[in-house]
Structure 1
Amino acid sequence: MSKRRRFGGFRAGCLGALAVALALGTAAATGGDSEHSRTAPTRQAPIAAAKLDPRPGKLPRPRNGPSAAQRPPLGATKRALSNLERRLRRRPPPRAATALIVRFRGGVDRRRRSELLKAAGARVSERLPLPGAVVVRPARGAKLERLLAILRSSRAIAYAQPDYRRVPLATPSDPLFPKQWALVNTGQQFDSAYPPGTAGADIDADAGWEIANTFAAPVAVVDTGVALGHPDLAPELWTNDAEARGRPGVDDDGNGFVDDVHGWDFAGGDPDPSDYDGHGTHVAGTIAARANDGTGVAGVAWRGPLMPLRVVGIAGATDSALIAAFDYAARMGARVVNVSLGGPGYSPALKEAIDRHPDVLFVTAAGNDGIDNDSSPQRSYPCALDSPNLVCVAATDQNDGVPTWSNFGAASVDLGAPGNAIISTWPDRNLVVRTWSFDDGTPLSVDWVTSTSGALPERGLVSGVAGTGLAAAGVTIAPSAATQYGNSEVVVRTPLDLSAQHGCRLRFRYLIDDPQAASGGSPAVSLYVKLGSLTGAGGVQIVDTKSGDTAGALRQAVVDPWQMMLPTPAFDGRPDAIIGFGVLYDHGTQGGRVIVDDVRVLCVNTASGSGSWQFSSGTSMAAPHVAGAAALVLARRPDLTPAQLRELLLRSADPVQALAGRTVSGGRLDLRRLLDLVATPIAPQDNGPARPPSPGPAGSTGGGTQSIQSGPTSSSAQLAALARSARIRCPRWSARALRCKLVLSASASRPLTLRFVLRKARRTLATANGRLGRYVTLHAKHRLRRGTYALEVRLGDRSGRTALRKFRLRLR
């Protein structure tokens, strides 16, 4: 969850005084109030509460109030809010997994797999692009924990793991006017909310751009999606030409994804990777926002194709979605994958998915828990994986310090990069869908109904509310002395049609007069907010609460299900969305009132050219600086392997005292030094301890990285000899596919990896991974025709050494 301040993109103008007020004047009653007092919440979280009406699809009756049978008991509301407050006081844990990832051992046929899963009480819900790997869910009535234990006990299964959820790694921040100190830091006062930085505490981007061509290799952004119409990002989007020129509803390139023109939504299973949260758009802007266009910000690699792959839904991302996105990115030509996501829980499937693509560099965020990723049981994955083609990034601030919230690790975190108070692109989430105003004298009952005891109050003028002269609805409540606890609630009379809207949130202002809290006692009056829909999952629930005297001032509040990263009731995208406000009070309180004003429903504006810019902080903001730098390097030296590129990043890091002993390199990203080093041969160098083995199942170990040797093609004498002995056979081809096999005249002493790349006129048409002596199919992005093509095959061994062999291929 993030609190972020916003810059730009807001629509100017006043929508008038919009007020719904619940002015509370309680009668004295017996009993104390400390037992049922309310404390101010520290974090938003949803909690189940009493339904609006026990009858499905029915709203409470508007005129005379609901019957006693329809009213939720006050004790239920009290218990719901008590549970809510307890959850708000502690950090919410990641949402529990609801499925398992199961990887069968080689040689277990499909029939045997089906029998095992059926006997264990599991059903297959998805097949993953890993050999023998599936996502399974427990059969009705079965428990996930028991299913996991049964599957792990089977010798036919290599591993079984929860389908962990990963969340975007960002921390709270607040914006005013943006300045990109991360690229060029002169010690300027870049924003009034932050102290000025230290000159030189940046990635030296301006000097780096003088060295490198700003064209960059393709980068996949595996995140919450990207705002496709944002003016700073739209020109840099990766485009699948075969689908863009093809027929709607047809898989024109044969990759298994229909109409994937600009990527794919693996969270929703559709070809629209739009961002309804903002996190992924922010990451994308840091990597490749268009520069010199008269608007917004500049990315590190501001002429690089961005491939948006959405994996994060409203409750986070599952490992299965990440695995599918990694496979898609590699197949479609991405050389760098940015993964600003993380969470606890070792995942052998996630590691296998990364290791499966040794020619792709995965850049990931270290995490925002302020812990040591080398030793903490809560270390963040995928950062803590020991894959040689993975780089993990910590955050630095404008003074080259390490924020207290940034994770670190002398063996698992490779280097630092700017991650505090970073300005970047953001979706326009300020499309006003609905507002409520009562300044024209319209009674409250026209738009709102009550779901609690007492008749709905008519709107009346309340003068002199904090000097604002707001129009408000007066409510006088005199509950029975037999009960100590009461509430009053209003909800919209007519459900909202949000079926065509996404990324919706509720913004309002509120005032609480609580004499007991103002005099130093415990809060006795609370405002709560309910969201949901009549027929959607979760019904209508309490999702936020406010308490404490506001000293006569109106405070602004935003209820944003997309920022909560917790299970919330279905709201946006629903044709029957519901909004409600309620007041909870102790009867022993004298006086008191709650006023709600300027109520608006705001959603994402997906129109072309819409967008905004915003400050945000976190290791999520640090990782894309490194991803952009890597993309610039690969555009200059496409022959580099991820292992070589990682070594270059470590060697070129600018030493920073705060990172010494806390990262592998002990330094922060320096683009100028990196690009200077690219022009020189990469010599072997000891960069400190290798990554520790990833903790896996009992009896298993992970491998560490090794120093590599390289020349122009990074090949040892043995690999070079093997490459020279290679022959290619491509007996079959079609308009969309080419089938080839690499054979060697000499024998290899160790297993080799093969990477096939088909090009024509410097244009990459197809890529594929293969094994020695076996046929591999290269699926072309564009139609193949008769003529001459260049086929490159890169041989690699386990130490990271590679050799490149080029063939001239003539298709007839």
Structure 2
Amino acid sequence: MKKISLAALTLTTLLAACGGQPGTMPQVSTAPQASTAPALSQSPLSIDPAQIVTTKAGETYVRNQLVVNLRGRSAEALAADLGGQVLDRIPELDVALIGLPAGKDARSEGVRLMREGQVRYAAAQLVQRREAPVKTGQLGEQAVKQVFDQLPQYALDANHMNAQPAWDAGYTGKGVKVAVIDDPADVSHPDLRPNWAGKAFDPATNTTYTKVQDWIDWLDRIDGKLDQKVNGSIDHGTAVASTISSAKDGKGIVGVAPDSKFLPAAIFQPGFVGDYLVARSVIWSVNQGAQVLNNSWGGLGYSPLIKQAMDYALERNVTVVVSAGNSYREEWRNPAQLPGVIASAALDINNEKSGFSTYGRHISVAAPGVDVLLASPLFINEDGTRKSGYTADGGSGYQLISGTSFSGPYTAGTAALILGAKPDLDPYQVRRLMEETADASVGSNAAGFDRETGHGLIRLDKLAARLKAGNMPEKGGAARVKVEIQTPGGYVPGILADAVLEGDGADGAVYGVQTDADGYANFVSIAPGTYTLRVATPDLTLTGGNPNERDSYVGKITVTSGSVLSTVVPLRVVLTKGAVNLNPVDPYEPNDKMEQAAPIKYGDRTNVAYIFGKPRDLDFFSFMGKAGDKIQADVHARATIGGSLDSFLVLRDSAGKKLAFNDDANAQDSSLTHTLPADGTYYLEVSSCTILCASDGDDPAKGQDDDSPFNKYVLELQQLK
């Protein structure tokens, strides 16, 4: 291997909240295949970019793909009722992915199915996009103070995680499999090949690869020739895998758990990635014997599918590690918000929180994540052979890289060290061991927990001493909450309620979930103790509406060590508001034609109205204007009041002639300004982009159906000076 100089390294950065996406329909077998498979573009799980919708809260979902927990119901029968088609199934979760016909919105269809009690949950598939790279500084002098294997790795030295004492004590992750749910890692890399577990997974085609060359050939098909550049769509997963499992063989770098084996599951492929591929990868990883799952990805929103997949792992004693995210702010990100997972924040070379690292009360521990030296994919020579090791001609072999994407796998590797020594520990015990042996002086609270770094920097020397001493934390526990809403007709399940557990004290852990169709919120593998329980229904970013339509509850709940979800008694919470209305009444109907237009005048804001009740609803409002009046009309819809309406607005004169129109002026809400040409009556036409965008508002027949009870809007008309 060629000797490396730090100056030759390429500084490459990717975020923890990686993402990707693409749509069609045939069906895929649920039995994994063991040879060559088609590319993602041929998969029924691809996503049509035209079907991607962004909500008021910034969540991104697929309008025509519905994820359903069937609760024993026939997937084909349900798809037929919806006029759609079954795209795929995950039998372990009793989940199906259903492609919907044009005009149906997965979010509103999902709520309807839940409200009717037909399924355990139904939701649109969430998707992720890759974020912009994190910009960081150069590697500091501390990096060369200690060398592991051949190349300098500051993250593992005595000033940081201090791995050598743990390795010397025999804690190397031997016998532990770690799943890398990420990019399709380059298993041929000389630092990774010795510790590849012998299987790699493409969830888009449900294919398991067992030969290095077959996997590399597949990488080349989906990514193009690797000798063209270091491509982000495989770069990230290679770096993540090397953080955990790089072999300690005197060459290149070494992973924090150098005797662990890794299983790559490739969720990030060209285009977009949806939570269905993630869930399928989680199930595959658990079924292959993974004891730790690393998830260096994330985004906004709540996914009941990801929650169920993570619970599948946790309930089988699999430790789940997630990156906190790189949003630079305090917030919850999916899946870092979920109960039972270990959320990892990123530190810089000075053991201070990185500027980009997402923070909050859900953070568990912190690890290095700025300018860490990790593996990068290898190039292919013109003759088809693969170069080995580092070359200075473009980043082949190794890279400096930054993000909570890499503090996460340092944490996952630590979990592997623990489980190699104590394989019977549950996921909470693994988490708590890290927290109790962390360096609490790191962060803003030298005495203990803080929101920026959790319980502090992982210290493997202290962890090794604790493992040798043998006194382990108590086991985790479980909790269930049953939410009901009292209505004039009786009690109904409180679906889509937000349920949050807050541990007592400044360092009390926080977990958040959403209720299912039966009103249950489940918390798996969490810290024992007393929590404040907060419940509120429903999520207005989904249904739209005003805050006063929500009801809330605050109380206490106790979690017992060793309790499991199947036997714990649920706590019943009764609310009086928040039942989802699937048959709203539009106060302005009928106003589907100009001659039926509802009156509006300057300075008015309408009550909440709906594009609902027919496949291609149009709403007309009339006002009087004078020549020279400069008017502004605004449709407040998905971006401002929530709900599902991507509005479209048209201004017409008294003869029906189109004077102006607008689709998106403010994050998919519509707004237009216009100077009126004459005295007279004018008309504002409100509808959905799905119905009118194809014809710029002229011909609804050229569009698609859009009929959702969450197509809410408020129309405002002003005269500008």
Please classify the TM superposition score into its range, dividing by the shorter chain length: 0.5 to 0.7
Q: Does 1:424 align with 2:360?
A: no
| Preserved CA contact (<8 Å) 1:664 1:689 | no
One of 138, 142, 163 as aligned partner of 2:100: 138
Secondary structure of 2:268's aligned partner: coil
Q: Deviations over 1:477-530 (max 9, x none)?
A: xxxxxxxxxxxxxxxxxxxxxxx9xxxxxxxxxxxxxxxxxxxxxxxxxxxxxx
CA deviation vs aligned residue, 1:682-718 (integer Å, no higher than 9, x gap): 1449994233232446954342754469xxxxxxx99
Kept in 2, the 8 Å contact 1:311–1:325? The answer is yes
Establish whether residue 122 from structure 1 lines up as the match of residue 72 from structure 2. no
Letter in structure 2 aligned against 1:641: D
The 5-angstrom pairing of residues 524-563 of structure 1 reads: none
Q: 1:407 offset after TM fit, Å?
A: 0.5
In structure 1, the residue corresponding to 2:293 is in which secondary structure? strand
Distance 1:315 1:264, change over 3 A: farther
Q: Distance in 2 between matches of 1:334 and 1:271?
A: 27
Paired AA for residue 211 in structure 1: A
TM-fit CA distance, 1:334: 1.0
Equivalent runs, 1:139-154 vs 2, <5 Å: 139-140=101-102, 142-154=104-116
CA distance in 2, matches of 1:425, 1:370: 26
Match of 1:306 among 254, 262, 268: 262
Q: Which residue of 1 aligns with 2:451?
A: 662
TM-score by length of 2: 0.52
Q: Distance in 1 between matches of 2:343 and 2:561?
A: 32
- The correspondence for 1:632, drawn from 417, 424, 444, is 417
Q: Deviations over 1:100-156 (max 9, x none)?
A: 343345353x2xx43433232322111124433111122245444554454444320
Query: Aligned in 2, Cα 1:391/1:145: closer, same or farther, shift over 3 Å?
Result: closer
How big is each residue's C-alpha offset from its partner over 1:212-250, in whole Å with a ceiling of 9 and x where there is no partner? 343531111110111122111111111159x9xxxxxxx
Query: Which residue identity lines up with residue 521 of structure 2 in the other structure?
Result: T
Residue in 2 aligned with 1:617? 402
CA contact (8 A) 1:97 1:165 kept: yes
What amino acid maps onto 1:682 in structure 2?
Answer: M
Q: For residues 7 and 316 of structure 1, what CA distance do their matches in structure 2 show? A: 34
Cα offset for 1:618?
0.6
In 1, Cα distance between the equivalents of 2:274 and 2:145?
Answer: 33
Report the identity percentage: 24
CA contact (8 A) 2:171 2:464 kept: no
CA deviation vs aligned residue, 1:65-98 (integer Å, no higher than 9, x gap):
xxxxxxxxxxxxxxxxxxxxxxxxxxx9776425
Distance 1:96 1:719 in 2: 37
Counterpart amino acid of 1:161?
A: A
Residue 242 of structure 2 corresponds to 285
Structure of greater Rg: 1
Q: Which amino acid aligns with 2:86?
A: V
Indicate yes or no: 2:197 matched with 1:238: yes
d(CA) in 2 for partners of 1:414 and 1:701? 22
SS in 2 for 1:302: coil
RMSD of aligned alpha carbons: 4.6
Matching residue of 1:223: 182
Shift of 1:624: 0.7
1:681 aligns with 2:634: no
Structure 1 contact 170–617 (Cα < 8 Å) conserved:
no
User: Does residue 123 of structure 2 align to residue 158 of structure 1?
Assistant: no
Instruction: Say which of 332, 337, 361 aligns to 1:384.
Output: 337
Distance 1:6 1:94, change over 3 A: farther
Decide whether aligned partners of structure 1 residues 260 and 164 sit closer, same or farther in structure 2, where only a CA change above 3 A counts.
Answer: farther
* 1:711-726 mapped onto 2 (5 Å cutoff): none
- Following superposition, the deviation at residue 400 of structure 1 comes to 1.5
**Contact (CA 8 Å) 1:652, 1:677: kept in 2 or not?**
yes
Instruction: Provide the secondary structure at the position in 1 that maps to 2:238.
Output: helix
Counterpart of 1:693 in 2: which secondary structure? strand
Where 2:269 maps in the other structure, the secondary structure is: coil
Q: Render the CA deviation track for 1:545-585: whole Å, top value 9, x for unaligned.
A: xxxxxxxxxxxxxxxxxxxxxxxxxxxxxxxxxxxxxxxxx
Residues 239/369 of structure 1: CA separation in 2 closer, same or farther (3 Å cut) = same
1:300 deviates by: 0.7
Deviation at 1:201, TM superposition (A): 4.3
Letter in 2 for 1:703: F
Q: 1:646 Cα deviation (Å)?
A: 1.2
In the aligned structure 1, how far is the partner of 2:69 from the partner of 2:82?
14
Q: Contact 1:181–1:202 at 8 Å: present in 2 too?
A: no
| Equivalent residues in 2 for 1:138-537, closer than 5 Å | 138-140=100-102, 142-167=104-129, 171-173=133-135, 181=143, 201-216=159-174, 217-240=176-199, 257=207, 259-261=209-211, 276-294=233-251, 296-357=252-313, 358=315, 359-373=317-331, 379-386=332-339, 388=340, 390-410=341-361, 412-428=362-378
- Calculate the TM-score normalised by the size of structure 1: 0.47
8 Å CA contact retained: 1:211, 1:672: no
The amino acid of 1:311's aligned partner reads I
| Aligned match of 1:535 | none
SS of 1:291 mapped into structure 2: coil
Question: Offset at 1:666?
Answer: 2.5
Residue 199 to residue 114, structure 1, CA distance change in 2 (3 Å): closer
3-state DSSP class of the match of 1:668?
coil
- CA distance change for structure 1 residues 335 and 169 in 2, over 3 Å: closer, same or farther? farther
Go from structure 1 to structure 2 and tell me whether the alpha carbon gap of 1:261 and 1:123 turns closer, same or farther (over 3 Å shift).
Answer: same
2-structure distance, mates of 1:632, 1:706: 21
**Number of residues paired by the alignment?**
433
Measure, in 2, the Cα distance between the counterparts of 1:384 and 1:430.
40
Aligned counterparts of 1:93 and 1:430: Cα–Cα separation in 2: 40
Q: Residue 322 of structure 2: SS of its match in structure 1?
A: strand
8 Å CA contact 1:644, 1:708 repeated in 2: no
With over 3 angstroms needed to count, the CA separation of the structure-2 counterparts of 1:97 and 1:183, relative to structure 1, is farther
CA distance in 2, matches of 1:211, 1:6: 31
Residue 257 (structure 1) shift: 4.7
Map of 2:521 onto structure 1: 701
Q: In structure 2, how many angstroms separate the alpha carbons of the residues matched to 1:170 and 1:285?
A: 22
Aligned-partner Cα distance in 2 for 1:197–1:303: 18
Q: Which consecutive unaligned segments of at least 5 residues does structure 1 have? A: 11-44, 47-91, 244-254, 374-378, 434-499, 501-604, 710-716, 721-747, 752-812
- 1:97 corresponds to 2:59: no
Alpha-carbon separation, structure 2, partners of 1:718 and 1:407: 29
Distance 1:695 1:201 in 2: 41
> Which of the two has greater helix per residue?
2
Q: Which has the higher contact order (CA 8 A, sep 6+)?
A: 1
State the distance in 1 between where 2:85 and 2:144 align.
49
CA distance in 2, matches of 1:704, 1:327: 17
Q: Residue 36 of structure 2 aligns with which residue?
A: none
CA distance in 2, matches of 1:353, 1:612: 34
Following the alignment from structure 1 to structure 2, what is the Cα–Cα distance between the partners of residues 342 and 305? 24
Matches within 5 A, 1:728-743: none
